[in-house]
Structure 1
Amino acid sequence: MTDSQETPTSNEGEPRQHRAIKSFVMRAGRMTEGQQRGLDQGKPLFVLPLTDEPADFDQVFGRTAPRTLEIGFGMGHSLLEMAAASPELDFIGVEVHRPGVGALLNGVLTQGLKNLRVYDCDAIEVLKQCVADNSLDRLLLFFPDPWHKARHHKRRIVQPAFAELVRSKLKVGGVLHMATDWEPYAEYMLEVMNVAPGYRNQAADGGCVPRPAERPVTKFERRGERLGHGVWDLKFEKVD
């Protein structure tokens, strides 16, 4: 999810300044025993610090492997499932919601996963500061906040500047995979991405792709399907 708040300047009557778009909205939440265990025991092992220069992920993971970064993994169920199903791949998750980070880390500890690391700070800062250019094989953005009201569209994470930032971090042939359960947001993302330089829509008709098998189906999505709600997947490949 994204957040862009307006803060007035110190002098009355002067234009209000806008903060940069963030990849999240901070939410409070109670911690379960398992989530707290995840933070207490897992954070020193699996949470990476925000640095001023790109991380050496070969050193972090102890190997060279295809790498996927997910922005906003929520409670971490999908990311855990993907990492467990593909031990030959490395995964990096970014999330600021403490219960979600704790839940993911508890899962990592319980399942003994070695191919997953976490940043618990703003994803835009992580991309800009910690991820080397041309280094990611995939970037996942599943069910970001659509900011339904028109006056809030500026808070959406999917913007031309975001598309360009992601493109700079993907390898040629790397894929930006997005999913949303709100059709107007899917249409908006298509408008942004179909004109973004350096990308190719993997849907032959320039629209959405069928649900990829590699994206796990969440409980939220299953409930939505029972209620007749749709989910739209978009895949854009970096071509240069």
Structure 2
Amino acid sequence: MSDSANSPESRTPGASLRHARGKGEPRFPDGPKPDPAGSHFERRIRSFQPRRSRVTTGQADALQRLWPKWGLDIDGRALDLGRLFGDEKPVVLEIGFGMGEATARMAADDPETNVLAVDVHTPGQGNLLNLADLDGLSNVRVANGDAIILLREMLTPDSLSGLRVYFPDPWPKKRHHKRRLIQEEFLTLVASRLRAGAIVHCATDWEPYAEQMLEVLTAHPEFENTRADGGFAPRPGFRPLTRFEGQGLDKGHVVNDLLFRRVQQPESGCG
């Protein structure tokens, strides 16, 4: 056996990249940035907690190969969705996609809808890019960073055809409830970016959070419940049952879906 065959680079795919990275150099030079918006925007309470976990070789390879093509750093600069996707299909924003399995399946099932999927979890970003590549999906883009900055600074009014928020962090402790994403202020921002008739679809297995979501969405003047009874919706067939969700159901967790429509506000008449 030759010396080259016994080298660390030959034993572990991707090891040469890790070995060559010097102190202070980015983990993925052509991949998602650690803090894309930097300090350009005010500090505030965040609704997400960055998670650090091991990136597999396949995920790392996808980040290196596909981020320049399908990745987006949320840096606060204005975003042209038509240019990002290369067409004028309707765009649905998904906030927090985990490992991306459900996102990829929904994108495959509905190729006429573009999906802009936002998360801060590097392994999940790599996994979704890999799934999109394997399935030949051209209607998925992966965004890295703070979804609030994306909505407020980068997207134009009426640019989105839907919003998906599946299993967001419930922040169960009372003192942390202010960190929950689904709040009145957030919904007002979302409403300004959604077209009339667009659907906001939330799902959670944390019942107290589900009740809060229902209360806040019901009270907001720019949304109406698609359920005539004003309650929760059964899981629609287009939202896949994820492995995480299935494990929760096996443990007796109750999963609640909420489907609310962005209403058309009446134009004010002239006096």
TM (normalized to structure 1)?
0.89
Query: Aligned residue pairs: how many?
Result: 223
Distance in 2 between residues matched to 1:65 and 1:192, nearest whole Å: 30
1:116 matched to which residue of 2?
140
Distance in 2 between residues matched to 1:226 and 1:27, nearest whole Å: 25
Establish whether residue 33 from structure 1 lines up as the match of residue 74 from structure 2.
Answer: no
Question: 2:76–2:149: 8 Å Cα contact kept in structure 1?
Answer: no
Which protein has greater RCO, CA pairs closer than 8 Å, 6+ apart? 1
SS in 1 for 2:201: strand
Establish whether residue 165 from structure 1 lines up as the match of residue 208 from structure 2.
Answer: no
Deviations 1:27-67 (A, max 9, x none): 11101111101111111110123354432111222211121
Deviations 1:91-141 (A, max 9, x none): 100011101101111112222211111111111111112221111111000
Unaligned runs of at least 5 residues, structure 1 = 1-17
Decide which structure has the larger Cα Rg and report it. 2
1:214 matched to which residue of 2?
238
Distance in 2 between residues matched to 1:51 and 1:156, nearest whole Å: 22
Q: In structure 2, do the counterparts of structure 1 residues 149 and 108 end up closer, same or farther at CA, with 3 Å as the change threshold?
A: same
Higher mean displacement: 213-222 or 19-28: 19-28
- TM-aligned CA deviation for residue 19 of structure 1: 4.3
Structure 1 runs (4+) greater than 3 angstroms displaced:
51-54
The Cα RMSD (Å) is: 1.4
TM (normalized to structure 2)?
0.79
Identical aligned pairs, as a percentage? 47
Amino acid at match of 2:130: N
2:110 matched to which residue of 1?
86
Distance in 2 between residues matched to 1:93 and 1:52, nearest whole Å: 16
Unaligned runs of at least 5 residues, structure 2 = 1-41, 265-271
Distance in 1 between residues matched to 2:93 and 2:47, nearest whole Å: 14
Question: 1:158–1:189: 8 Å Cα contact kept in structure 2?
Answer: yes
Distance in 2 between residues matched to 1:51 and 1:32, nearest whole Å: 26
- TM-aligned CA deviation for residue 225 of structure 1: 1.8
1:75 matched to which residue of 2?
99
Distance in 2 between residues matched to 1:132 and 1:183, nearest whole Å: 33
2:249 matched to which residue of 1?
225
